[in-house]
Amino acid sequence: MPLPSHVTLVDVGPRDGLQNEKHTVGAADKIELVRRLQRAGLTEIEVTSFVSPKWVPQMADAAEVMAGIERQRGVRYHVLVPNLKGLEAALPTRPDEIVVFGAASEAFSRKNINCTIAESIERFAPVVQAARAKGCKVRGAISCAVGCPYEGDVHPDRVELVVRLMKDIGVQHVGVADTIGVGTPNKVRAAMERALAHYPIAEVSGHFHDTYGQALANIYACLEMGIHVFDASVAGLGGCPYAKGATGNVATEDVVFLLDGLGIETGIELGALVDAGAFISGVLGRPPVSRVARAVLAKRPLAEEL
């Protein structure tokens, strides 16, 4: 199969990227990050999550951030919601897409959202119905699709079970997530195949944390399958508070560099994206994790001297 000619990247930096930060990042900085991402050409941005502030304090300002972003035509704004309470808070902030998040591992489901997989589906069902009735698209994230920090290897049968359950309740798109970054191409392919058995290719995406440095290889394996939607996080930020030791998502800069090199169109301008990553890294007081961003930034002073 030829590689896709266009890839859509969803930048999850403002949400996944920041949710696990120890020090509070102010709403104004989150809003500025969203502004810079859209300026770089991102058209899908996961802005925040309407979760319990006791569980994830960093996302307590979800409504303020959604109210503060400068909406741009052609850009879609996604938010996570775990339950009806989250949806009720999210809807007035006019998200284009809501994300319910389940897991292929029982242990992770309990740690992350405090319920079993079956209970999570029961909880999501009215959320999906109500969100769709309000015109929001619904994405379902499936964490631990290849490995779990508590249960180890996760069999593709477990992924397919959750994919089917999500389809049954009306979830329109599934995001297959390697929460702890342990996947390698064959394992990722096997998980993706189970999603593709139930959803069209445009409605299946990959979400790869880069803990073991395998994320770009996994994305390439997905491209070979024709998958053309991926989550990524500017500067390589990210992590889940309930997946200890897992590092950030694959950096958007690294994915864009790969796709540019393959001649695959994204609509994203790498230089402006590096600027967005440098901005938020400055706020956090550390350099970007992205190898591409570091390489681009290292060359800049030289270019300025010429």
* CB atoms near residue 38 (< 10 Å): 22
Chain residues that interact with ligand HMG, rule: CB under 6 A: 16, 19, 49-52, 54-56, 80, 82-83, 85-86, 89, 101, 112-114, 141, 143, 177, 179, 207, 209, 240, 242
Per the residue annotation, which of 136, 144, 148, 240 is the catalytic one? 240
Cβ neighbors of 53 (< 8 A, separation 6 or more) are 59, 60
Residue 192 binding partner per list Mg ion, ligand HMG, none, with a CB distance cut-off of 5 to 8 Å that depends on partner kind: none
Nearer to ligand HMG, 3 or 55 (CB): 55
Q: Tally helices (H) and strands (E) across the chain.
A: 12, 10
240 is catalytic: yes
Q: How far is the CB of 258 from ligand HMG (least distance, A)?
A: 20
Measured from each CB, the residue nearest to Mg ion is 16
* Residue 263, burial from CB neighbour count under 10 angstroms (0-12, 13-18, 19+): exposed
Q: Tokens 């803990």 map to which residue? A: 211
Nearer to Mg ion, 17 or 156 (CB): 17
187 token code pair: 């394992």
Q: Does 11 bind Mg ion (CB under 5 A)?
A: no
Please tell me the count of residues contacting Mg ion according to CB under 5 A: 1
Q: Does 178 bind Mg ion (CB under 5 A)?
A: no
Q: Does 16 bind Mg ion (CB under 5 A)?
A: yes
Q: What is the separation of C-alpha 282 from the centre of its chain, rounded to a whole number of angstroms?
A: 22
Q: How far is the CB of 280 from Mg ion (least distance, A)?
A: 17
Q: How far is the CB of 240 from Mg ion (least distance, A)?
A: 5
Residue 296 binding partner per list Mg ion, ligand HMG, none, with a CB distance cut-off of 5 to 8 Å that depends on partner kind: none
Nearer to ligand HMG, 56 or 229 (CB): 56
- The candidate with the shortest Cα–Cα distance to 140, out of 110, 114, 117, is 117
Cβ neighbors of 223 (< 8 A, separation 6 or more) are 3, 4, 7, 262, 264
Cα-based distances in Å from 51 to 30, 41, 56, 96, 297: 17, 28, 7, 17, 35
Residues recognised as catalytic: 240
Q: Which residues bind Mg ion (CB under 5 A)?
A: 16
